[in-house]
Chains A and B, each alone.
Chain A
Amino acid sequence: MNLRVWLLLLGAVAIMSFAAMVLVVVPAALLTEVKPSPGLEPYTASEASGRGVYIREGCMYCHSQQVRDTTITTDEARGWGRPSVPGDYVYDAPHQLGTMRTGPDLMNVGARLPDRRWQLLHLYQPRAVVPWSIMPSFPYLFEVKAQAGPDDEVVTVPPAWAPESGVVVAGPEAVALVDYLLSLDHTQPLAPTEATPRAR
Chain B
Amino acid sequence: MTPPESPPAGTAERSALDFAGREPALLCFVTAVFWLLVGSIFGDLASLKFQFPDWLADSGALTFGRLRTAHLNAMIYGWSSLAMLGVSCWLIPRLVRQPLAWPRLAVGGAMIWNIGLLSGVPGLLAGATDGLEWLELDWRFSDPWLVLGGAMVGGALLRTVLGSKVEHLYVSVWYTAAAFVWFPILFVIGNLRVYTGVESAAVNWFYGHNALGFWLTAINLGAIYYLLPKVLGRPIHSYQLSLVGFWAFAFFYSLNGMHHLVGGPIPTWMITTSIVASGMMVIPVGAVAVNHHMTMVGRFGALRYSPTLRFVVLGAISYTAVSLQGIFTAFVEVNRVTHFTQWTIAHSHVGVYAFVTLTLFGSIYYILPRLVEREWPSASLIRWHFWLSLGGIAAYVLALIVGGVLQGMALLDPARPFEESVTVTLPWLAVRTVAGLVLTAGHLVFAWHIALMLSRHLRRERRLPPWHEAQPRLYEESG
Contacts and interface: CB of A to CB of B under 8 A. Distances in A.
Contact of A83 (B162, B265, B332): B265
A197 interface: yes
A23 B257 contact: yes
Contacts of B34: none
B181 A89 contact: no
A10 B80 CA distance: 26
B201 A16 contact: no
B197 A31 contact: yes
B265 A5 contact: no
Contacts of B189: 20, 24
A5 B66 contact: no
Given A27-B266, A61-B69, A139-B57, A16 B177 contact: no
B438 to A, nearest CB: 22
Interface in A50-70: 55-62, 64, 66, 68-69
Interface in A104-158: 104, 125-127, 132-140
B49 interface: yes
B413 interface: yes
A57 B255 CA distance: 31
Interface stretch (B18-26, B267-275, B391-399, B467-475): B267-275
Given A93-B196, A138-B63, A16 B264 contact: no
B47 to A, nearest CB: 12
A77 interface: yes
B341 to A, nearest CB: 7
Interface string B239-266: 0000000010011001101101111111
B53 A133 contact: yes
Interface stretch (B106-114, B202-210, B291-299, B367-375): B202-210
Contact of B267 (A4, A24, A27): A27
A199 to B, nearest CB: 9
B197 A85 contact: no
A177 to B, nearest CB: 12
A162 to B, nearest CB: 14
A88 interface: yes
Nearest to B158: A9
Contacts of B426: 134
A93 B200 contact: yes
B2 interface: no
Nearest to B414: A77
A8 to B, nearest CB: 6
A55 B340 CA distance: 18
Contacts of A66: 264-265
A86 B270 contact: no
A198 B199 CA distance: 17
Interface in B446-468: none
A30 B197 contact: no
Contacts of B181: 9, 12-13, 16
Most buried by B among A12, A30, A104: A12
Interface stretch (B140-148, B301-309, B350-358, B416-424): B416-424
B261 A97 contact: yes
Nearest to A135: B53
A92 B197 CA distance: 5
> How extensive is the interface on chain B, given as a class?
35 or more
A84 B167 CA distance: 55
Contacts of B250: 11-12, 15-16
Nearest to B260: A99
Most buried by B among A8, A18, A90: A8
B361 to A, nearest CB: 27
A191 interface: no
Nearest to B60: A140
Given A2-B164, A132-B422, A136-B49, A22 B265 contact: no
A140 B332 CA distance: 41
A45 interface: no
A71 B198 CA distance: 20
Given A90-B197, A99-B133, A132 B63 contact: no
A101 to B, nearest CB: 4
A63 B274 CA distance: 24
B59 interface: yes
B64 interface: yes
Contacts of B201: 89, 95, 97
B185 interface: yes
Interface string B122-152: 0000010111110000000000000000000
B119 interface: no
B68 A58 contact: yes
B247 A11 contact: yes
B89 interface: no
A72 B333 CA distance: 8
A19 B178 contact: no
B264 A136 contact: no
A4 B169 contact: yes
B121 to A, nearest CB: 14
Contacts of B158: 9
Contacts of A18: 254
B412 A9 contact: no
Interface string B70-85: 0000000000000000
Contacts of A188: none
A5 B164 contact: yes
Given A13-B181, A86-B197, A57 B267 contact: no
Closest 6 CB pairs of A and B: A58-B65, A19-B254, A68-B263, A89-B197, A101-B340, A12-B178
27 contacts: A11-B247, A12-B178, A15-B250, A23-B202, A23-B270, A23-B274, A27-B199, A27-B202, A31-B199, A34-B198, A59-B65, A68-B263, A68-B264, A85-B265, A89-B200, A95-B197, A97-B261, A99-B344, A102-B422, A132-B419, A132-B422, A133-B422, A134-B50, A136-B64, A137-B57, A138-B57, A200-B268
